[in-house]
Amino acid sequence: MSEMRQNHLFADQYLNLERVSDRIGYLVVRFLENRLATNPIFHASDLCRYVWGFEECAPESPGRIMRKLRLDGRVEVEVIDRSRAQYRVTAIYSEPRRA
């Protein structure tokens, strides 16, 4: 694959992630806020069901947005059991935090 084609694919992926984040990011944050206040341990399917209750999206989108928020320093989410897609939310920040 040529470098130009590869750069174009990365740009498309980034733009798509930003578009989806603009559409469902607030729902992912709301879910995590609710879980932090009640029971911080959850499965990826819990997150997906919550988001789908408000907005249709691709099955993997809520998880991708959660990982983006984590990389952006907006949330802290730990993987408890990768094989069971089980997570624990430990913090949510109004401003991004970077290490």
Q: CB under 8 Å to 32, separation ≥6 — which residues? A: 66, 69, 75, 77, 89, 92
At residue 3, the pLDDT reads 65
Q: Which domains does the chain have, with CATH numbers?
A: 3-92 (1.10.10)
Query: Would you give per-residue pLDDT tens digits along the chain (99 residues)?
Result: 566 655 655 667 767 777 888 889 999 999 999 999 999 999 999 999 999 999 999 999 999 999 999 999 999 999 999 999 999 999 999 887 765
d(CA 61, CA 41): 19
